[in-house]
Amino acid sequence: MPLRTAWLVNRTDAENGQSRADTRLAPLGAVTPVSGLAGRSGLLPGSPDGKSLTSAFYVFSSTAGMTATIAPGRAVVQGSQTAGAYPVVLTDYTSVTLADGDANNARTDLVVLRVYDAQFDNSGRTEAVLEVLSGPTDGTRALPQVPEASLPLASVLVPAGSSVGTGGIDWATAVTDLRTTTVGVGGILPLYGNTAESGAYPGQYRDISSALQRWDGSQWVSYPAQLGGIAPTGRISTGSYVGQYRDNNGRLERWNGTAWTPAMPSPVFAYNNAGGYCKTTTWSEALTGTTGPTVTATFTAPISGSVLVTVGFQGQPSVEGGWGRMSVNIRKGGVLVTGLGAAETRSAIVTNRGNQSVTTTFPVTGLTAGATYTAVSAYSSSATTNNHWFDNRFVRVDPML
């Protein structure tokens, strides 16, 4: 079999010089660490045309029957921590044959790359082999247990009663690829299998074909979600830290710890042209004689915590010498913010008979950056006998950056 392992056989542990265990325990270039002594078993990435992540030890069959072909390639198989990692190479396409199917039940076989080492496993063998482990025939189709110093390559569903004479295995659908990859320490691991496998150390990187990920000590975090990265549209739904940014279909947003908010708050404008009357001398958010809603502008406080609020309307009093004012109540979560209720000093006012259009702009400060507020229109009249008319009402909020 054209399968070789790269150990030295001219020394023993009892003699001076470099032993086979010394060779395996010493740092190997193609090992992703998983502990102080152990490395990640896996195939070395690469393919002849560069179009596939890895072609090494690919299990397939181009003919009907019970025989599979395994493609050449290089791998590292980790034994016990004291045994070390075994570099292995398959130099040519090699065939393995699966046993005929059980008469009654299908089973799942496992094709593995396995290393036998008599110095550590008492097997009496010192070699690397391609091996087929037959699964149970009790109807569960459970996978066989993976032996130590073995690298799973593929599982194969063997139908009940299958044999060369009955057409064998449906290789197009029966094979599940179980290969994994490994690279040198510090290298970016091209992910192929074992997607749920934890990282070995904070700062390790892997490529999942669609994104670069970094192990932060507890989870794999996609590179666009790392500090300073702007996550592309659709990549993340929840931010990883306060101050993270994402692109949301062309809109830049910032994570405030609980929600995504516009990164650069834009002006907010609310308008209604259904007129109504107010004759209360205290501030009221409702008008009578109109089906139009209360004018409400919902906005996100910018980093400065300050905004400019502009209110305006077209109106007239019903009595000579009467007046009407329009202002806003600033609310957070529906609750009026202390000191930011409607006020005469923050209002637009009409004082003469005849339709007039008026507006005023005033600053609102002391807001919590990133929090959501509402500016709710409020109205008052000079007297209960003055049915003051309000029409074409609007509220605009501009962030002060």
CATH assignment of the domain containing 360: 2.60.120
The reported pLDDT for the residue numbered 8 is 52
What would the mean pLDDT of 180-198 be, rounded to a whole number?
A: 83
**122 plus 78 within the same structural domain:** yes
Q: Compute the distance between CA of residue 104 and CA of residue 125 in angstroms, rounded to an integer.
A: 35
**256 plus 125 within the same structural domain:** no
pLDDT digits (tens, 9 = 90+) for 332-371: 999 999 999 999 999 999 998 889 999 999 999 999 988 9
398, 300 Cβ separation under 8 angstroms: no
- Residue 378 is part of which domain span? 268-400
Average pLDDT across the chain, whole number = 89
Which of 121, 146, 177 marks a domain boundary? 177
What would the mean pLDDT of 185-208 be, rounded to a whole number?
A: 83
Look at 240 and 246; give whichever has higher pLDDT: 246
Q: Is residue 331 part of a domain?
A: yes
**274 plus 249 within the same structural domain:** no
What would the mean pLDDT of 270-278 be, rounded to a whole number?
A: 95
**166 plus 109 within the same structural domain:** yes
182, 113 Cβ separation under 8 angstroms: no
Phi-psi region of 138 (alpha: psi -120 to 50; beta: other; left: phi over 0): alpha
> 313-334 burial, b for 16+ CB within 10 Å, e for fewer?
bbbbbbeeebbbbbbbbbbeee
3-state secondary structure of 375: strand
What would the mean pLDDT of 234-262 be, rounded to a whole number?
A: 87
Which of 262, 279, 294 marks a domain boundary? 262
**43 plus 117 within the same structural domain:** yes
**140 plus 253 within the same structural domain:** no
Which of 262, 285, 316 marks a domain boundary? 262
**281 plus 359 within the same structural domain:** yes
Q: Is residue 187 part of a domain?
A: no
pLDDT digits (tens, 9 = 90+) for 155-174: 999 999 999 999 999 999 99
Give me the amino acid identity at 321.
G
What would the mean pLDDT of 372-394 be, rounded to a whole number?
A: 97
The reported pLDDT for the residue numbered 299 is 94
β-strand pairing of 73-78 with 85-90: antiparallel
pLDDT digits (tens, 9 = 90+) for 103-162: 999 999 999 999 999 889 989 998 999 999 999 999 999 999 999 999 999 999 999 999
Q: Is residue 49 part of a domain?
A: yes
The reported pLDDT for the residue numbered 16 is 57
Q: Compute the distance between CA of residue 91 and CA of residue 71 in angstroms, rounded to an integer.
A: 9
Q: What is the CA radius of gyration of the chain?
A: 37
Q: Is residue 273 part of a domain?
A: yes
Q: Is residue 246 part of a domain?
A: yes
From the CB of residue 48, how many other CB atoms can be counted at a distance below 10 Å?
Answer: 7
The reported pLDDT for the residue numbered 344 is 96
The reported pLDDT for the residue numbered 261 is 82
Q: Is residue 184 part of a domain?
A: no
**222 plus 349 within the same structural domain:** no
Q: Is residue 40 part of a domain?
A: yes
**Torsion sign across C-alpha atoms 217, 218, 219, 221:** negative
3-state secondary structure of 40: coil
Q: Compute the distance between CA of residue 16 and CA of residue 131 in angstroms, rounded to an integer.
A: 34
Kindly give the residue spans of alpha helices, DSSP state H, lying in 154-199.
171-174
Phi-psi region of 65 (alpha: psi -120 to 50; beta: other; left: phi over 0): left
Q: Is residue 202 part of a domain?
A: yes
Q: How far is Cα of residue 200 from the mean position of the Cα atoms in its chain?
A: 19
Give me the amino acid identity at 372.
T
The reported pLDDT for the residue numbered 7 is 58
**140 plus 61 within the same structural domain:** yes
Of the candidates 201, 205, 182, the residue with the CA atom closest to the CA atom of residue 192: 182
Question: How big is the CA angle at 60 (ends 59 and 64), to the nearest 5 degrees?
Answer: 140
**358 plus 394 within the same structural domain:** yes
DSSP state of 180: -
Look at 21 and 118; give whichever has higher pLDDT: 118
**272 plus 209 within the same structural domain:** no
Cα separation values, 115 from 4, 34, 100, Å: 10, 19, 25
**255 plus 280 within the same structural domain:** no
The reported pLDDT for the residue numbered 272 is 95
Q: What's the domain count of the chain?
A: 3
